[in-house]
Structures are given as structure tokens and as C-alpha cells.
Chain A
Amino acid sequence: MANSILLTILEVILMPLVAFIVGLFMVLMMRKLAAKLQRRVGPPLFQPLYDIVKLYGKQTQISHGLIHDIGIIMAVGGYVAAEALLPVPGMDGIAAKGGLVTLAYLMMVPSLGLALGVGQCANPNGSIGISRALTAMLAYDIPFIIVIFGVAYHFGSTNLVSIIATQQAEGIAGWGISEMPILAIAGLFALHASLGKQPFEIYIAPAEIATGPMVEMGGKFLGGLFVMQTFQLYTASVLYVSLFLGGGENWVTFLIKCFAVLAIPVLIAYLFPRYRTEDLIRLVWKWPVMLALLGVAFVMN
């Protein structure tokens, strides 16, 4: 008993660390892909790390108050905790104690933290950014949650570990994507929107609202958000892999799947200009929701 608790604690410590490192490479891949698409060279290998170290190493830091600080702590901490709920090859963490729905809601903690921190900055650009981000969340979470329903219903469980185990037991034919292709497409759409990349990045709109939530974030505050971004990319892709691509049999296939999943939206992203908020809602509430409902209809049949 004590042993297993210790083991769990060890996993809970390791999992965010792995997530951070993988996430750094995901950020790199994203920027590299964007650069390639734009016929640029792109950043060097450790660029994401340089950015983060530099930001944390800033000499003067500006804070607008305690909640500003706590917001960043919550933003990072929430994702650190969320990673413990995402099973990876060899490590389950506390995935069995939380499950899919818990994960979905735990992922709102960092957003809430960020929103609080931005609010304390007293900058309208930030508040507008948050209002847009929350609106976008309302938009893409609806297809996302339908997808989660479909998957959970299909596998008869909200436990990610058993969902992954079921998929792996049957091989590729048992993967979510083969059994629920429509849901998988809808899920990918929702995943893309949730990343906040083009064309869904109205909430950071640099030229318009000065990168929205990040407007007053400098130094370690921005650094925290960079860390959060690594986790965000990691979480989104691993969740998708766990739901539809049979999770990770081993680290190699796992990472390949993760990066591949992430590459799709990134490749699409840089081809589009951004949507306005209302267009974003219209788009996301129309196609992915329709697809997801159709998928659920198939699943429940």
C-alpha cells in the first residue's frame, strides 16, 4: 500500500517533467513547421528553452498584485496537476482516480488562473482577450464534450486507463479512430480550436488587442505562460492520442502519434487568417458539433 502510494507520487512528479520536455519539442515543432510553411529557416533546437530561461532570468519584474502572481501559479500548477491524470506508457499516475471528465474540468483551472491574473492587471486589452478566450472555450468545448461523451459511452467508462487498455487489446482495429472515425474528425477540429492557434487566435490578436491576456505579462509571468503552452500542447495531443489512437504502447510510438496529431492542426493553421469571435462560434458550433452529434449517433446505435 505504502509502496504503491510512493510509486504513484513518483509518477506524479515524473509525468509533468516528461510533459514539459516533450512540450518544449512540440513548441519547437510548431514553430519549425510554421517557418517551413513560410519558407523560413525557423528557430534553433533549443529556442523554446532559451525563451523560457531568458524570461525567468529577467532582472526587473512587474507585478500588478498578488492575484497577478497567483494567476500565473495557477496557470502552470493546474497543468502540472492535469499531466498526472494523463496516462503515458509505463505511468498511469492518478489517471484511474480522476478520469476523463475530471481531466476535462481540471484543464479549466489553468484558464481560470490565467483569467484571474489577467484581470488583476487592470488592462482592458487583457480583459477583452479573456472574454474572447472564454467565448472561444464555450465554442470549442461543446464539440469536445460531445466527443468525450461518445468515447466514454463507447468504452463504457470514463477511466482513461481502461479506455487505453481496451484500445490496445484490439490493435489498430480497436482504436477509437477506426471505431469512431466521425468523432475523431470532430475531436481533431475541437483540438485545433482549443490550441488557440490560427485561425482561432482571435483572443491574442497581437495587432489589435496587444496579445490580449499577455498584454501586461513580462518576465517570469510570460515565462510561466510559455511553460503553460508546452503543457497545453502536450495535454491536448496526448488526450487525443489516448482517446482515438490507442494511447502509447511504448514511448516511441507514443511520441510519434503525439507529434503527428499535433502536426495536423499546425499545418492547417498557418494557411488561414483569423476568424472573428462570432465567426469562430458559428463555425465551431456548426461543423464539429454536427459531426460530433452524428458520431455519437453512430456510437450509440
Chain B
Amino acid sequence: MLERLRIFPDQASTIAGEVDTLYLFLIGMSTFFVALIFGLVIYFAAKYRRRSVNEVPPPVRTDLRLEIAWTVIPLVLVLISFAWGAQLFVTMGQAPAGAMEIHAVGRQWMWKFQHPSGGREINQLHVPVGIPIKILLASEDVIHSFFVPAFRVKMDVVPGKYTSAWFEATMEGEFHLFCAEYCGTQHSGMIGRVVVMKPVDYQRWLSDQASGEPLAVGGERLFQQRGCATCHRTSDGPTGPALHGLFGRRVQLQSGDSVVADESYIRESVLNPNAKITEGYQPIMPTFQGQLSEEGLHQMIAYIKSLSGPAEGRKAP
């Protein structure tokens, strides 16, 4: 029981040690001032307790030197902690060039990670030790926050835009992953594990993850996972046009002109839905910017092609 009574989380990233040192500096400064104030208050309260009922204490003049002292000294101390914190913050803000990029998607109450080589995992993040990792964060619904206490890293995952955080793990093992920004009922359930492994173990883990499945199968799974199916059904519905037989067809647009539905049209409609809106539909399709890696987009386009081409003719759900 006692060995679990800790004051600090693991220092498992390059910056964790520096953050803790700054933390200790601030604790030292604060303990000094708390001791000073508590000590003086208790000492004065005891020493100058009232001796007789109508005792009138001698007047004490306001001392300007003292006032200046306890304005300038605290100011200098706080500015030191500002500068130290700011310098560290700037290094936290910019990922080193060549950092390995992992796509992360936060959605109500789970984390989804896609490794560059196509490996995919939910609520778990396997990373190699000693290599800077940049996490590209996108949200599908509300604001979440990617927080790994052991790495001292936190960055909000804001819907509608990309945010990123980076870290370089220095210690192998499993660490907590939390969502730090309140995001609804299961906010406290949106947690996971970051597993730090040796680079060689990481490669072995990655190789048996990558599924050799055809792109269209991956595309169909993405189609479900991203919730495209909720709007794009087998026939033209109120919220979205059907994608059956779409590929290669000329599409009438809201602005009057028309365009042939080729790969670039599908890709643009997925990433920037408002650029070309099909006739008679509302601009309610949310952006999927950053939630589909290039590989995912390829899989998606392959899937949509399969819906209209003679090949598998598989029915969309």
C-alpha cells in the first residue's frame, strides 16, 4: 500500500525531468513564503496578545522601504518562474523535425490511433522508446484533451481543426492516457494505455498488426467507422445523396453547374464538403479533415468505386 503513495508520476519523457525541476523550484519558493507568513502571523499573534482591557498599542509608521521590498522581490521571483516556464513551453510546442507522425482521433469516449504504416488500435498507443513521436489530433464531436501524465504532455483535441502534441519516451512500460477536457457522460471512461517498447519490439508488433486486406474492405470499414453510412444510404436520403453508381456520373451542383464524379471530386467532397454541394442538399456534412489518412482516403475511394463498378457489386449497408 505504502509503495504506491507517490508524490510524482513517472518521469517517462525527455521533458518530464525539466518540468519536475521547475515544479520543485516553485515548491521551494512557496514553502519559504508560507513558512514566513505562517511563522510571522503566529509569532505576532502570540507575542503581542492583549495584556490589559484598554491597552493601546504604539503607532507603527508605514515603511516605504519594506513596501518596495515586498513588491520587487516577489515580482523578480515570479518573472524567473515565468521565463523558465515559457522557455520549456516553447520546446513543448514545436515537435522536432522528422518526428514519427501518428494520427489520433478522439471521439465520444474512445481514442483511435493510426500508425503511419497502417497499424490501427483503439484506446492503446504502442510507441518506440527514444524516438520523438508527433501525435496529430482530430476530434469527431466535442473537445477532448490528449493527456499522458507520465510524459507531462497535454493538448486539447478541438473539432474542426488539427492540433498536435509531441513527446519522446525515455522509459519503457505502460502509462496512463486520460481525456482531460470534460466531454460528456463517459468522460472518465475515455482512458487508455500508452505502451512504450524497444524499437525492435515495436516493429515486430507493427508487422503483425498491418492487415493485408484489400483497400475496398478497409474502405468499407472506414465508411462504417466514420459514420458515413448514417447519411449516405442505398438510395437518395434527406441528409445525403446515395453513392451507388456515383463514380463516373455527372453530378448537378447547388451552384447550377455540374461536374464528373471522379476521384478528386470524392476526395474534395470528403475533406472540404462545402466546396461542391450536390443539388438540393444542405451543407451539413462535417469535415473529415485529418481523420482519414492518405491511406484511408485511398481505401474510401476504392470502396466507392466498388459501389458503382461491376467488380464486387457489394451492397452498401
Question: Do A and B interact?
Answer: no
Q: Which residues of B does A touch, CB under 8 Å?
A: none
**Interface residue ranges, A against B (CB under 8 Å):** none
